[in-house]
Amino acid sequence: MNRSLIETLMGAMVLGVAGLFLMFAYTTADLGRTDGYEVYANFTTVGGLRVGSDVRLAGIKVGTVKRQELDPETYLARVTFSVEPSVKLPADTSASITSEGLLGGNFVDLAPGGDAEMLKPGGRIQYTQDAVDLVQMLGKFVFSAGQTGGEPPKQ
């Protein structure tokens, strides 16, 4: 009888700790957040940007990428993201896809403009800059360095 009670208490403790861990993971991962308004931007390429990637303003996370889809008319990548309701974006805000580093993921970086009119929910960010493909850029550099062959410049 005593052993069964100890096993039951230990099982309850394990379940309690697991529940606390799940609650902590849920709150820190922002999985439950659906607030904010959505805006979208068109890019020619999104690189390694994923649904769930950060949207940052001045380096601070202010939103999340919600959807990526191909516009069948323009063949551009349409990226829809949510922005916190406390952040009001001017109508001439620009968006760029930026890398966190050589091994990091990509995120959308917003640069607010100076327009007095604000973007409305469902609005479009007109000014965009595509993701930079570091591998392609490195390949071009190596290829161009091989083309010169170390020849001295012509005078």
Side chain identity, residue 82 = S
DSSP class of residue 68?
E
Q: Does the pLDDT of residue 34 top 70, yes or no?
A: no
Question: At 42, which amino acid appears?
Answer: N
What pTM does this model have?
0.67
> Cα–Cα distance between 60 and 56 in angstroms, integer?
5
Distance (Å, whole) CA 118 – CA 125: 11
> pLDDT tens digits, residue range 53-96?
899 999 999 999 999 999 999 999 999 999 999 999 999 999 99
Kindly report the average pLDDT of the chain as a whole number.
Answer: 84
| CA atoms of 91 and 76, how far apart (whole Å) | 21
Residue 98 one-letter amino acid:
T
Contact, 82 vs 36, CB < 8 A? Answer: yes
Domain residue limits, the chain: 37-134
Cα separation, 153 vs 18, in Å, equals 68
